[in-house]
Chains A and B, each alone.
Chain A
Amino acid sequence: MRVSLKWLADYVDVTLSPEELAHKLTMAGMESAAIENIGGDWDSELITVGNVLDVQPHPDADRLVLATVDHGGTEPQTVVCGAPNVEAGQRIAFARAGAKLIDGRSGERAVLKPAKIRGVESAGMVCSGKELGLSSDHEGILVLAADAPVGTALSTYLGDAVLDLDLTPNRPDWMSMLGIAREVAALTGATVREPQHTYDDQADENVPAVVAVEIADPDLCSRYVATVVEGVTLGPSPQWLQERVTAGGMRPINNVVDITNYVMMELGQPLHAFDFSAVQDAKIVVRRAREGEKLTTLDGEERTLTKDMLVIADAKKPVALAGVMGGADSEITEQTTTILLESATFHPGCIRRTAAALRSRTEASARFEKGLSPELAVIAAQRATKLLVELAGGRALHGYVDSYPAPAEEVRIDLTRRRLEQVLGIDLPTSKVRAALTSLGFSVRWSPPELYEVRVPYWRTDVRISDDLAEEVARVIGYDQIPTTNLSGALPSVAAQPLRNLRESLRDACAAAGMQEVITYSLTTQELLARVLPEDEMAARPPLKVAHTVSSEYEYLRPTLWASVLRTAAANLRRHDGELALFEAARVYLPPPRERLEAGELPDEREHVVGVVTGQREDRWGRASDEAVDFFDAKGYVDAALAAVGLTPALSQAERFALLPGRTGAVSVDGRDVGVIGQVHPAVAAQFDIDQDVYVFELVVDELLEVAAGDRVYESDFRYPPVVQDLALVVDRDLPADQVRSAIEQHKLVRAARIFDVYEGEGIADGKKSLALSVTYQAPDRTLTLEEVAKAQDSLLKRLAKEFSAELRA
């Protein structure tokens, strides 16, 4: 909200500089985002209010005139002026030579110099709005109010500082000059001057006699106040009112509209003026709209209403959309003589929903939706009526209609000294507490030793409980006055977070193995997902979609990380050579079946770790070699990651959508499926614009948790020396090597078996391969003799021959 300090001065004396005030307000919860200084750079000596004494044609130029101006100095000055609107008798802004102004044409700041214009000496200037930095208007000069005091520094007369405040939604009262003034008064120790709202009701008739108000839906309208003013003459507002309306960020329209806007900005209560003659049967009905009912609003749009919306209707039809916008038919026009002024309290939620549904958030709806006090309705009605009488030549009818079915009671809060200390952590002196609350308009009765009996002023609709008052006290004395202490209570017991711990360990291990972590968006497109997920799976469990997203690129909650990580790899490949190894550890979102979703079940969020490996291995210098990474580079990362958490994966040939058959392995640990490694199918890779071999792996952390190693038990049986022997076996080419290896490891004297070579070709029969294994024999209780080892190997070979037709390589 824009707050003109000049306007604010109507209600409170501000002795602080705009910067100091902005700081105080910020600290108290009204964040001041910016200060606009109007006229801060106007030289008070050189730029003054002037009076145009005389205007004569320029002797040598048709479009120029000579204006003689009294600027408060010893002698009037005659200057050349090119503006079409300069007239004798005007009050204008006059700048003398030496003043800094903005050049009307270039927009640059420049010092005004005496000049000869078409032969006439000119040592000053009648300024335009643009030259003063007030507006972009350079067509004509700025004309001031007729009562502007001649000779006064323009900076005094017209200068202003405007604070741009970011207000929090709990304070509808701050959406008014008076509300800000109350705050300023409380924070600076000043006193608030409430605007006058009493007026002479010259007309004989009583308002209730000429208009009937019925609140048909009191749940949506708690109070409806109306006054009637007759004999109104529509016309422009006086200068001061126009200035206020402009300062508040609105456009002056006419005196009636300006008054309602002015009072709204001043007091925070939106008002609406109806042409009374357009209100059928002089009857106002506040009711829910009928489904499909139509209303053409002030902006000329025909609105189709729903039964959730509240309308102001006359005897026949809606005449306004309550709290949002008036109707075109009852709009104030030149012909209007009698005004029905509405000041009402509507249900915040209803106004909010209506404004949202019709996409017309207005200054009025923004205030109503925060919840206004019903007390304000009467005060605002009277204030506006007073101004209509004074500024629009009207006669107010006597009294007002007040439909207030369930009057609210004043809010009282018993605040204990103990609670205040409990919340704030400091036992404040009673005098300070009372002063703080009183300064904000609360009335406080201290009843020793414990109790503050607090009555909440009507405008503080946000204060309902003791802790609200605690904040008020802290705000006024300043949060910096609250002490700074450390938590002291007992430490709660801590529940283990095994899933998180495992995920973080895997994250560390992937990075330690040489992979770069990426973090990609949780939302993606259906098209991207379809590249890596089979159609039937997408159809059976369609990924969850978000409504009203800002971008169609981020629309579907991903049930897989593959697409995101592959896309990230592709984007980086363009400017990367050597090996590219990326991983992400994040959640995927598996939608529950429809009926479970309907029962309120949330998606299954599972923790995945997905890696993408591609590119060329690097040489001794870290440069890309000719050798492309392969399946085993990807597997190496998986091995490393799992080894770090004490797990050993077993792989088996598998087939998986988007992966190349024959180069895909399912990863399991202790027989449990925990993930997959594979080469991305070239056709799929191509969809990501990757035209080289690319490998992906996926580990499901939730599954790994099921097999995760507990505490590792130290084995101390290294006392007896191991015997290491190499073994070369010829087996069928298609036999998975690890089956041979794990069969060897099952022998009770074998501590470990490692594959260290695979060979096919010369010397090996077609369809066969040679496996080289290094076998470590060791017994926990004795040193093995060479004879024992030889015997063990014999029995191993027999078993391998039987099970796999394995033969010892010659």
Chain B
Amino acid sequence: MRGPMADQQTGTEVDIEAIAATARAGLAAADDEAALESWRVAQLGRKGVLTSVLRQLAGLPIEERRRIGAEANALKTELEAALESRRLSLAGERLAATVAGGQVDVTLPGRTKRVGRLHPITQTLREMTDIFVSMGFAVTEGPEVETDYYNFGALLIAPDHPARDMQDTLYIDYQRDGAYPFMLRTHTSPNQVRFMEQHQPPIRVVVPGRCYRNEATDPTHEWMITQIELLAVDEGISLADLKGTLFEFAKRMFGQERKVRFRCDYFPYVEPGVDMSIDCFLCGGEGCRMCHNEGWIEIMGAGMVHPQILTNMGYDAERVTGFAAGIGAERVCLLRNGIEDIRSFYQNDLRFLEQF
């Protein structure tokens, strides 16, 4: 270091040119950030060469002091600019080196982040629910273990009603007066009644949930199913509104190009009763195995709520009318995704689930 030396040699000639030459050479030799920093400290720092030159000026004649002071300040400015420029060019070199030698193989796999997925039935159920919610329906849920009253009686399915054959029931193994008062709900329809008991029209609700049937399983039948029940009650609701609502749902769920068909069907708790079908995904209506050669696939059971039910709820059935509909998520997912066996859903094989 020249600082302390200069102190002792007060009055000696200060060679700015020599200082400048040494500094320039030093800067050219600095080839990384650390070297640049130590060069800066040595040349431009508080205890650096230029600072000590300026300090030495105190003892010099005024003329000398002015000249050397101006030269030293000019050199300081020059060196600061040179440092900045050297810094930039080094950064450029570094980047160039990185690009040249250190490029990544972008085709390598990404650093694995675990991906979780929702079950396809959850996804389907949500999609269906969301469509109805966007139409102004609220979501509500109800119990899966039901009483005979809610699952059957209140829906006008008396104990000896032949419609009980339509739905093989899983009863809770508990008998009272020779009958089974509790069962796993066979459909989400009991919630129509539960909801109407608690609310006055206007009503627009969807009820998603698990339902159960006591039946042997095969590729198209599953004993546990997931349904969405749809209920709207208000003044002025007609079969035309039911058609419109289901039509809109079908288009959004299955695509604008799908054809929709409404035909008469029977459910004890609706009058008139409706079955909604869409044209077969696979054959487009020509007839194939999937649609049992009919070209149409049944998607939804529906109808106008039986006025007796409305009356039983304390509504004025001459004033208000309503519609109800039910749709199964498994069937929808099966059709949309080309799944061959409905039992795949609850076998939960990851090789299956991970595809959704």
Contact = CB atoms under 8 A, between A and B. Distances in A.
B214 A549 contact: yes
Interface stretch (B8-16, B63-71, B98-106, B233-241): B233-241
A579 interface: yes
Contact of B240 (A369, A485, A516, A549): A485
Highest count of chain B CB atoms <10 Å: which of A28, A508, A547, A603:
A547
A620 B112 contact: yes
Contacts of A29: 263-266, 273
19 contacts: A170-B266, A350-B160, A352-B162, A369-B160, A422-B321, A471-B273, A492-B136, A507-B118, A512-B116, A514-B115, A516-B116, A517-B119, A518-B119, A519-B348, A522-B184, A547-B170, A547-B171, A575-B351, A602-B146
A467 interface: yes
B249 to A, nearest CB: 11
A589 B122 contact: no
B166 A484 contact: no
Given A514-B114, A548-B171, A369 B348 contact: no
Interface stretch (B18-26, B33-41, B175-183): B175-183
A31 B275 CA distance: 10
A498 to B, nearest CB: 12
B331 interface: no
Most chain A beta carbons < 10 A, residue from B174, B261, B345, B349: B174
B346 A521 contact: yes
A186 to B, nearest CB: 12
Contact of A500 (B139, B210, B234): B139
Contact of B159 (A349, A424, A547, A620): A349
Contact of B241 (A480, A487, A575): A487
Nearest to A501: B139
Contacts of A484: 240, 243-244, 247
Contacts of A426: 238, 240
Q: Which 8 A-B pairs have the closest CB atoms?
A: A425-B240, A349-B160, A514-B114, A425-B238, A471-B272, A168-B266, A29-B264, A169-B162
Interface residues of B, number: 97
A517 B118 contact: yes
B273 A579 contact: no
Contact of B139 (A497, A519, A575): A497
Contacts of B196: none
A581 B241 contact: no
Contacts of B118: 507-508, 511, 517
Contacts, number: 265
A489 B184 contact: no
A475 B345 contact: no
B114 A581 contact: yes
Contacts of B109: 621-622
Given A352-B162, A485-B240, A519-B122, A514 B116 contact: yes
B214 A522 contact: no
A544 B173 contact: yes
A522 B144 contact: yes
A33 B292 CA distance: 8
A487 B136 contact: yes
Most buried by B among A419, A475, A489, A602: A489
Interface of A: 26-29, 31, 33-34, 168-171, 348-350, 352-353, 369-370, 419, 421-426, 465, 467-468, 470-471, 474-475, 479-480, 482-492, 494-495, 497, 500, 504, 507-508, 510-523, 544-550, 554, 557, 568, 571-572, 575-576, 579-582, 587, 589, 597-598, 600, 602-603, 605, 618-622
Nearest to B200: A492
Given A349-B159, A514-B115, A550 B122 contact: no
Given A474-B264, A523-B212, 4 more contacts: A27-B264, A479-B274, A519-B122, A521-B224
B271 interface: yes
Interface string B152-191: 0000001111110110001111101000111010000000
A26 B277 CA distance: 12
Contacts of A521: 224, 346
B208 to A, nearest CB: 9
Contacts of B163: 169-170
Contacts of B45: none
Count chain A CB atoms within 10 A of each CB in B143, B345, B348 and give the residue with the most.
B348
Nearest to B198: A495
A572 B180 contact: no
Contacts of A486: 241, 244-245, 248
A600 B244 contact: no
A589 to B, nearest CB: 6
B145 interface: yes
